[in-house]
Structure 1
Amino acid sequence: MSAEPSTTEGRHDLPDGTAAQGLRKNSMSWVGAALLGAIIMSPASGLYFNFTPIEATAGPVVPLIFLIAIVVTLPTALSYAALSRSLPSAGSAYTWVRCAIGPKTGVFAGWILNGFYLLAQIVLPGIGALFFNDILSQVGVPTGYFTWAVGVLLMTVIVAAINFRGIDLSLKGTVIFMILESVVVFALMLTIFIVQTGNGSFTTTDVANSFTPSAATGGTVAIFAALVFGIQANVGFDAVSTLAEETHTPRKFIPIATVVAVVAVGAYWVITALGFVAAFPVQQVVDVVANGGTPVSAMADKFWGGIGQLVISVIAFTSITAIFLAQNVASSRALYAMGRQGTVPAWLGHLKPGARVPGNAMTLGLVVTVVVTLALGAALGTASQYNWSATMASSLALLTYLGVNIANIVYHLRFQRARFHVLMHGIVPVIGIAVVCFVIYKSYLGSLWDAGWTFGRSVQIAVVVWLLLGAAWVLYVRRATPEVMRDEEFDRA
């Protein structure tokens, strides 16, 4: 169906991707959309974020964890692809759940989605600032919380300067950073693997153990605990769907881009993690972090020398800046979609003149990111602050994914029954629901509770608080602006 733009509430997110207030439409292909999803997942920086907590939790089975994460994520990615084909929208999960189930459930899903995207954004500048400190240390400048905070602010200023000028510049800048970091980190991994296998430090038995569940430190329990970070690494493919209104032929390109991002980046992680596991014993990785360092910089120093270490640190800082750019794009589009429908303050649905980007939504996200990042760094330490926000982000991600899988079934049964596909709209989302529920039960309800207060139970409590606030927000919107909560069924066949 081809629909004309409308200013009527509820018709902003149209099946063909048009919008009443007009995000700037461009000629982005599936390659461009896939690249943005891949950038947020970050082929190289995903290792910076998640390699250390995975290895510290489960030992040398990091490649196995990344492989499991792909399997866990793929059914949900296919549900995202199916819904993007039927109903492309910047609102993504919010729009789909709203259309499939109803406005109240949709607003609640949007609350969860925006919390997930905001926390995924908060993860980034804190880690980037660690590499900023590494750079300063390598040139002889004393570092600490103050210099780390400068790194956080510097990264945020760069992101704002680029993203406020439009989606085209955002994409071009991030692609350059991603390609450069991916090549450099892959070269480091290859160097480690060749050296360590050549001198007998890493054998074929060690390779096999990297994919053997029984080799995990702590057994099955540790695997499920480490899977929290494997799933966090996969966060990003979902952001492709938020570009539907800025992509040429979104019904065709967005589904392809979503699946390609998951499979291609996941394969990169499995391969490169194998080389990283070969670099150091597990305890040495833990010790590097405990001393405020980053394992990848220590690996570069060992295998490439001081110059190589500096190169890795610079590349890491720029690449994480690129992810920050892409995540700010995704999170602002989801918030913008709710703002223009009136389910969050309307000023969040305004566009910046000229560039046609959601400037208010981007500004709010950046301000909250800086404040929360600096607070977590002060409270938990600069080397550990990202673990808390990353764990909560992946918790909300799973709840979002659960909603998308349910919406895939319900939407196609309600509005496109004649085109209901048993595999894509039935079997796949049912598998996705089962997998997500199992992981929530084993990794988030079980393992996190046993992980202690700081990075376990406090996260669970924070998730519950966020959900309660979301329920309260739904009630407030229902009372304050009942007109935006009316249940309208549109012919989207």
Structure 2
Amino acid sequence: MWAIVGLGLGYMTPTVVFDTFGMVSRDTNNVVPLAYLVALIVMMFTAISYGKMSGAIPSAGSAYTYVRESIHPNVGFMVGWTSLIDYVLLPMVNCLIIRSYLEALFPEIPGWIWVVIYCAVVTTVIYLTMRGTSNINMMLLVFSIVVMAVFVVMVIAQLAHASADGQSVPLVQPFFHDGVTLGAVLTGATIVCFSFIGFDAVTMYAEEAKTPKIMPRAILLTVIIGGAIFLIAAYFTQLRFPSSSVFPTEAIEDSTLPEIGLQVGGPVLQAVLTAAGFCATLASGLASHASVSRMLLVMGRNNVLPKRFFGYINPKTHTPTFNIVLVGLISLLAAAFTLELIAAFINFGALIAFTFVNISVIAWFAIRRGMRKTPKDIFSYIVLPGIGMLLTGVLWANLHADALIGGVIWTAIGFVYLLVLTRGFRRKVAAFDENQPVTGFNKAIK
């Protein structure tokens, strides 16, 4: 169970709380911890639903599989298609964060150069071998958390020194003060949902778990521990930086991590904190790049996408080279976008998936299995997932306008494509969950 929790936390990348701190502080009127608390509450309801579905359907595929089995294959396809935007854009986010780190350390070098170098290196590594990064995941996770703990201790020491000098430290202000509005907090919670993306990824290990019974606990623990890390880091960072105005505009748009490290501990902490973020982001980048390349391969092999291109495996490297290069080319767009906008696009797909997982609990347990006759069943399989569905829907409605427009367009394309694949719903749609076996691919990942 703890190995699965560690993989989930590593996928969540704990240092991302510093990357998005500036933009969330600006958008919430400086109550970042409150935004994380709201997001954590929403995610806990959804995590409970993921746990129930992973126990009922102990197979890989996550939201796509749950919706396909509990509601309908065509609805499952649409949820999977919408979630595909997360897979495709996550490598770009990692590239964008790495770019911001290197720009802060080497401001004289144009950012697009770092984007090109990063994409070339990561694409080449995965082109040659898709060996998983889980071997070093725990080491990188522990390193990141230790550095974050050192950061918190330094902030506490600085606040204590300020208090000794007669400067007041308002301990409640990071959660509430004059000028805070519910709409702003919900907007911030929508942004920081991006930080939690990854807790649902542990469902991909359902088939490898010693027993399916540990999956619900592993999912909930991943959310609670990850949320606690985010809350603690955000709280002390907000105490140290009560206003986002101390950060440069370009740092707020991309990543405030290097600036936070510099202002708290000078160049040394800036370098150490940036190194922690760099390692965690690079590991996440390798994993997400390989992950989407494999999912595109499965879609190609099942004729969901053109097989000749997306289903091709290089006979020498045993990797889906066309897909890997395509994802690398898409990641080059990190030179032209901000973290806030890309995170919003990713949250669109994630929140759709989260909403339908909550609906799947109602469909599978309350409707298909008739578990709605006792107060306990009604509470467990209708009320709890219903609350989770409503809460994720509220966050979805508060997404960035451009993300809503782009997400709706992407969903519409998927619907038209579904009509073509099923010939007007006259035949079944093919499966395309990421962990579906692919003949001839094993050598690439062993």
TM-score by length of 1: 0.77
Q: What amino acid sits opposite 1:184 in the alignment?
A: V
Task: Provide the C-alpha distance between the structure 2 equivalents of 1:163 and 1:254, rounded to a whole number of angstroms.
Answer: 29
Change (3 A) 1:372 1:297: same
**Contact kept in structure 2, 1:131 and 1:317, CA below 8 Å:** yes
CA deviation profile, 1:219-262 (whole Å, cap 9, x unmatched): 222212212212111111111112323x2335123322211110
Query: Given the alignment of the two structures, is residue 125 of structure 1 paired with residue 89 of structure 2, yes or no?
Result: no
Aligned residues: 426
Q: Give the CA deviation at 1:334.
A: 5.4
Give the structure 2 partner of residue 38 of structure 1: 9
Change (3 A) 1:146 1:121: closer
2:232 is the counterpart of 1:271: yes
State the distance in 2 between where 1:234 and 1:353 align: 37
Gaps of 5+ in 2: 432-446
Return the alpha-carbon distance in structure 2 between the equivalents of residues 52 and 132 of structure 1.
18
Contact 2:169-2:239 within 8 A present in 1 as well? no
In structure 1, the gaps of 5 or more residues are 1-29, 449-456, 488-493
Q: Does 1:412 align with 2:365?
A: yes
Aligned-partner residue type, residue 144 of structure 1: P
Say whether residues 1:377 and 2:335 are aligned partners: yes
Summarize the Cα distance change of 1:71–1:482 in structure 2 as closer, same or farther, 3 Å threshold. same
Name the counterpart of 2:422.
478
TM normalised by structure 2 equals 0.84
Distance 1:486 1:181 in 2: 40
Map of 2:412 onto structure 1: 468
Compute the displacement of 1:432 (Å). 0.9
| Distance across 1 between alignment mates of 2:48 and 2:406 | 29
- Is the CA contact 2:199–2:219 (under 8 Å) kept in the aligned structure 1? yes
User: Aligned AA for 2:262?
Assistant: D
Match of 1:230 in 2: 192
Deviates more, 1:202-211 or 1:52-61: 202-211
| 1:244 corresponds to | 206
Cα separation, partners in 2 of 1:293 and 1:404, compared to 1, 3 Å: closer
**2:155 counterpart residue number:** 192
Distance 1:252 1:94, change over 3 A: same
- Counterparts of 2:218 and 2:293, CA distance in 1: 20
1:160 to 126, 134, 137: 126
User: Could you say what secondary structure the match of 2:172 adopts?
Assistant: helix
- Provide the residue aligned with 1:67 in structure 2: 37
Distance 1:145 1:128, change over 3 A: closer
Q: Is the 8 A contact 2:5 2:222 kept in 1?
A: yes
The CA deviation at 1:49 is: 3.0
Percent identity, aligned pairs only, is 23
Residue 342 of structure 2 is matched in structure 1 by 389
Shift of 1:399: 1.0
Q: Which amino acid aligns with 1:228?
A: T
* 2:335 partner amino acid: G
Against the structure 1 CA distance between its residues 205 and 155, is the aligned structure 2 distance closer, same or farther, given a 3 Å change threshold? Answer: farther
The amino acid of 1:479's aligned partner reads R
Q: Deviations over 1:316-341 (max 9, x none)?
A: 21111122234346545655665565
> Which of these residues, 170, 191, 196, is aligned with residue 206 of structure 1?
170
Change (3 A) 1:283 1:94: closer
Give the drift of 1:189: 2.4
The structure-2 alpha-carbon separation of the partners of 1:191 and 1:259, relative to structure 1 and needing over 3 Å to count, comes to same
Counterpart CA distance in 2 for 1:81 and 1:40 is 18
CA distance 1:349–1:390, shift in 2 (3 Å): same
Could you tell me how far 1:73 is from its partner in structure 2? Answer: 1.0
Of residues 18, 21, 26 in structure 2, which corresponds to 1:56? 26
Native 8 Å contact 2:99 2:111 kept in 1: no
Change (3 A) 1:107 1:311: same
Greater shift, 304-313 or 84-93, is seen at: 304-313
Superposition deviation, residue 93 in structure 1 = 1.2
8 A Cα contact 1:42 1:265, kept in partner: no
Contact 1:178 1:319 in 2 (8 A): yes
Give 2:142's aligned residue: 179
Change (3 A) 1:105 1:481: closer
Q: Does 2:227 align with 1:261?
A: no
Q: Which amino acid aligns with 2:115?
A: A
Report if the CA contact (8 A) 2:18-2:257 is conserved.
yes
